[in-house]
């Protein structure tokens, strides 16, 4: 936090730790993305490959570290933290839910409807 | 820290505006709310990308086949490596930024200068890498044929390796046509650059080279593109193909549906614009640090505010990376 500049202890160690965590997560993502293990691709979970769920969870984990450690959200007041994080999480989840549902519906229409789009 | 904001004389007056429930300065709070609104803009783009992808879930281009270049490795299939490198560059510049903020808390001007300099260099390298990625995408690699319905047909050999248009075409020198320009025809009409080959040259070449096959956009069960048999390929090419696509722009895209190119340009472009503006803002603050503005002000909160923006740019890239390159 910016106030109490005088007794501010150095966070350098934590910063490097977070950097190592972020790097390891990214390396894991890249390795999974290159080899694409067959068993992760085959398993479907809520109409998506398990591998994709792993990617999304790892991404959110990275986002958590960037926001909490680098942007120093962990040091802000509860009020500020909630007004930023809860608002965005709620609106983004809602938006993703309606748009993906609609996208899937249009896919079904294209597939089984009377309109041919591959001619 | 109050020196960054002029004092208003309301301090200690609980009911007179002296209460600060969020315990941050106005500038930092507003940076947070700007980031919140910008995050919603980016999620709008990414959710729209998800919408289009779900709409064409069985024919979306495979990212590993599109983004497989690495500098100085021509013709080597290197999916993911370059974009992983870009991600590391951006994460590392985020680290140097947070180190600059940390050094600012301890009023160490020299260290702030060093770390901000490294951050700016990282940002510039990242924007440059993105430009290179765009160049490869726009230029294309193998070329493809477009059908009446806007579908993309690509050429493969018997083993399933991609074949580029210049290995398919049999060039007919009599049919060479010059591009119509305003200066040598009707002045109010012109046309875009002509493709290297005509569709007839491709058809002739394909008919002669009997080991070639056509690959459609449709994905099979195991996530590969469907390869047609020789008879189906010939039939499809002769009946439906109408033109040549080389590379990608907003209307045609040799990798698959044009929407893929549109979202790629729009989302990475908007993100690249954020990186660019972040670099510009960082440079402004960097100059102020060198001039000693924040030494005189006795706090480095401005570095913290641009730091927030810079981390946000990194945060967005983490999501773009996942949804464009991994998923």
| Contacts made by residues A79-87, CB under 8 angstroms, sequence distance 24+ | A79/B21, A79/B22, A80/B22, A80/B23, A80/B24, A80/B29, A80/B32, A84/B32, A84/B33, A84/B35, A84/B36, A87/B36
Q: Kindly state whether residue B251 falls inside one of the protein's structural domains.
A: no
Q: Is residue B12 domain-resident? A: no
Q: What is the pLDDT of residue A9?
A: 66
Contact check, Cβ <8 Å, A2/B223: no
- B94: closest CA among A6, A62, A7? A62
CB within 8 Å: A56 and B107: no
Of B48, B301, B308, the CB nearest to A71: B308
Note whether A76 contacts B: Cβ–Cβ < 8 A.
yes
Whether residue A96 lies within 8 A of chain B, CB to CB, comes out as: yes
List CB contacts (< 8 A) between B51 and chain A: 99-100, 102-103
Q: Per residue in B46-71, pLDDT tens?
A: 999 999 999 999 899 998 888 888 88
pLDDT score for B277: 96
Cβ <8 Å between B149 and A118: yes
How far from each other are the two terminal CA atoms of chain B, in whole angstroms? Answer: 44
Residues A75-97 as b/e (b if ≥16 CB within 10 A, e otherwise) read: ebeeebbebbbeebeeebeebee
Q: Which two tokens stand for residue A108?
A: 């079904």
B135 with B284, same domain? yes
pLDDT of B8 higher than 80: no
Host domain of residue B210: 144-178+191-246
Structure tokens at B139: 């230029």
**pLDDT value of position B182:** 82
Query: For B51-55, B67-71, B255-259, B260-264, which range has the lowest pLDDT when averaged over its residues?
Result: B67-71
pLDDT at A5 over 80: no
Distance, CA of B171 to CA of B98 (rounded, Å): 58
- At residue B44, what are phi and psi to the nearest 5 degrees? -60, -45
Hey, is the C-beta of B37 within 8 angstroms of any chain A C-beta? Answer: no
List C-alpha distances in Å: A66 to A92, B32, B308, B312. 18, 14, 10, 8
- For B190-206, b/e burial (b = at least 16 CB within 10 A) is eeeeebebbbebbbbbb
- Sort out which chain A residues have CB atoms less than 8 A from B313's CB and list them: none
Contacts of B55 in chain A (CB under 8 A): 103-104, 106-107, 110
Instruction: Check CB contact under 8 Å for B240 and A119.
Output: yes
Q: What is the pLDDT of residue B290?
A: 96
Residues B80 and B226 in one domain: no
Q: Is the dihedral of CA A65, A71, A77, A79 positive or negative?
A: negative
Q: Are residues B38 and B72 in the same domain?
A: yes
Confidence label for B196 from pLDDT (cuts 50, 70 and 90): confident
Same domain, B126 and B272: yes
In a domain, B37, yes or no: yes
ipTM: 0.90
Higher pLDDT pick, A68 / B17: A68
Residues B48 and B101 in one domain: yes
CB atoms within 10 A of CB B305: 22
Q: How many CB atoms lie within 10 A of CB A9?
A: 8
**Are B325 and A33 inside 8 Å of each other by CB?**
yes
Is residue B233 located within the same domain as residue B221? yes
If you average pLDDT over every residue of chain B, what do you get?
A: 90
Instruction: Identify which of B95, B140, B141 has the alpha carbon closest to the alpha carbon of residue B119.
Output: B95
Residue B147 in 3-state DSSP? Answer: strand
For chain A, percent helix, then strand, then coil, each to nearest 5?
A: 75, 5, 25
Q: Residue by residue, what is the 3-state secondary structure of B269-322?
A: HHHHHHHHHHHHHHHHHHHHHHHCHHHHHCCCHHHHHHHHHHHHHHHHHHHHHH
Phi/psi region, residue A113 (left: phi>0; alpha: psi -120 to 50; beta: rest), is beta
Q: Hunting for tokens 């895209």 — which residue is that? A: B253
Tokens of residue B131, six digits: 């430009």
User: Quick count: other Cβ atoms within 10 Å of Cβ A36?
Assistant: 14
Whether residues A70 and B325 touch (CB distance < 8 A) is answered with: no
In chain B, whose CA is at the least distance from the CA of A43?
B222
Domain count for chain B: 2
- pLDDT reading at A1 higher than 60: no
B18: in domain = no
pLDDT at position B143 is: 92
Q: Residue B123 falls within a domain, yes or no?
A: yes
Cβ contact B115:B97 at 8 Å:
yes
The residue out of B223, B246, B269 marking a domain boundary is B246
Per the CB < 8 A criterion, the answer to whether B273 and B261 are in contact is: no
What string of DSSP letters covers A22-41? HHHHHHHHHHHHHH--HHHH
Residue B184 lies inside a defined structural domain of this protein = no
CB of A119 within 8 Å of a chain B CB? The answer is: yes
- Please, what sign has the CA dihedral across residues B39, B40, B42, B43? positive
Looking at the domain assignment, is residue B15 inside a domain?
no
User: Counting Cβ atoms within 10 Å, is residue A63 exposed (0-12), middle (13-18) or buried (19+)?
Assistant: middle
Instruction: Assign residue B80 the CATH number of its domain.
Output: 1.20.120.80
CA separation for the pair B275, B317 (Å, rounded) = 10
User: pLDDT grade, residue B223 (50/70/90)?
Assistant: confident
Is B216 among the domain residues? yes
Residue A61 forms contact with B (CB below 8 Å)? no
For residues B208 and B231, state if they share a domain: yes
Local structure of B232: helix, strand or coil: helix
Return the CA Rg of chain A. 21
Distance CA B259, CA A103 (A): 13
Tens digit of pLDDT for each residue in A16-64? 999 999 999 999 999 999 888 888 888 888 878 899 999 999 999 999 9
Residues B157, B100: one domain?
no
Domain boundaries along the sequence of chain A: 1-75, 77-119
In a shared domain, residues B274 and B316:
yes
CA pair distance A91, A80, nearest whole angstrom: 17
Give the confidence band of B33 by pLDDT, cuts at 50, 70, 90.
very high
Nearest beta carbon to residue A63 from set B55, B101, B318: B318
Statement to judge: residues B136 and B265 lie in one domain: yes
The answer to whether residue B44 neighbours chain A at the CB level (below 8 Å) is yes
Instruction: Indicate if B199 and B218 belong to the same structural domain.
Output: yes
Tell me, yes or no, whether B134 and B150 share the same domain.
no
Q: Which of B216, B246, B276 is the last residue of a domain?
A: B246
């Amino acid at each position: 936090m910016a106030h109490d500049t005088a007794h501010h202890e150095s966070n350098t160690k934590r910063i490097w730790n977070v950097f190592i965590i972020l790097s390891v997560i990214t390396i894991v993502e890249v390795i999974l993305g290159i080899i694409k293990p067959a068993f992760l691709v085959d398993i479907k979970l809520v109409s998506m490959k398990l591998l994709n769920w792993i990617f999304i969870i790892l991404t959110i984990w990275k986002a958590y570290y960037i926001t909490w450690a680098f942007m120093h959200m962990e040091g802000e007041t509860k009020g500020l933290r909630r007004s930023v994080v809860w608002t965005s999480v709620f609106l983004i989840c809602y938006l993703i839910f309606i748009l993906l549902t609609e996208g899937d519906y249009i896919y079904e229409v294209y597939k089984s409807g009377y309109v041919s789009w591959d001619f | 820290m109050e020196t960054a904001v002029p004092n208003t004389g309301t301090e200690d007056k609980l009911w007179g505006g002296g209460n600060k429930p969020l315990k941050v300065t106005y500038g930092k709070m507003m940076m947070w709310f700007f980031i919140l609104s910008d995050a919603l803009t980016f999620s709008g783009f990414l959710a729209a990308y998800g919408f289009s992808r779900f709409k064409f879930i069985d024919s979306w281009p495979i990212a590993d086949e599109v983004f497989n270049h690495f500098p100085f490795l021509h013709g080597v299939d290197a999916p993911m490596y370059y974009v992983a490198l870009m991600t590391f560059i951006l994460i590392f510049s985020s680290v140097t930024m947070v180190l600059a903020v940390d050094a600012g808390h301890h009023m160490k001007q020299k260290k702030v200068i060093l770390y901000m300099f490294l951050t700016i260099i990282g940002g510039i390298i990242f924007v440059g890498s993105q430009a290179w990625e765009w160049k490869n995408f726009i230029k294309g690699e193998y070329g493809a044929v477009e059908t009446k319905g806007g579908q993309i047909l690509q050429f493969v050999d018997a083993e399933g390796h991609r074949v580029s248009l210049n290995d398919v075409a049999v060039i007919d020198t009599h049919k060479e046509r010059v591009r119509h320009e305003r200066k040598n025809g009707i002045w109010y009409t012109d046309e875009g650059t002509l493709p290297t080959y005509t569709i007839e040259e491709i058809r002739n070449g394909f008919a002669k080279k009997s080991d070639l096959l056509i690959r459609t956009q449709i994905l099979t069960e195991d996530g590969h593109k469907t390869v047609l048999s020789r008879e189906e390929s010939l039939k499809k090419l002769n009946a439906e193909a109408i033109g040549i696509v080389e590379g990608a722009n907003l209307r045609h895209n040799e990798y698959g549906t044009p929407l893929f190119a549109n979202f790629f340009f729009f989302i990475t472009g908007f993100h690249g614009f954020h990186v660019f503006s972040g670099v510009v803002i960082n440079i402004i603050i960097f100059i102020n640090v060198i001039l000693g503005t924040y030494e005189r002000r006795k706090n480095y909160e401005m570095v913290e505010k641009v730091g927030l923006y810079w981390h946000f740019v990194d945060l967005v890239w983490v999501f773009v990376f996942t949804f464009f390159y991994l998923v």
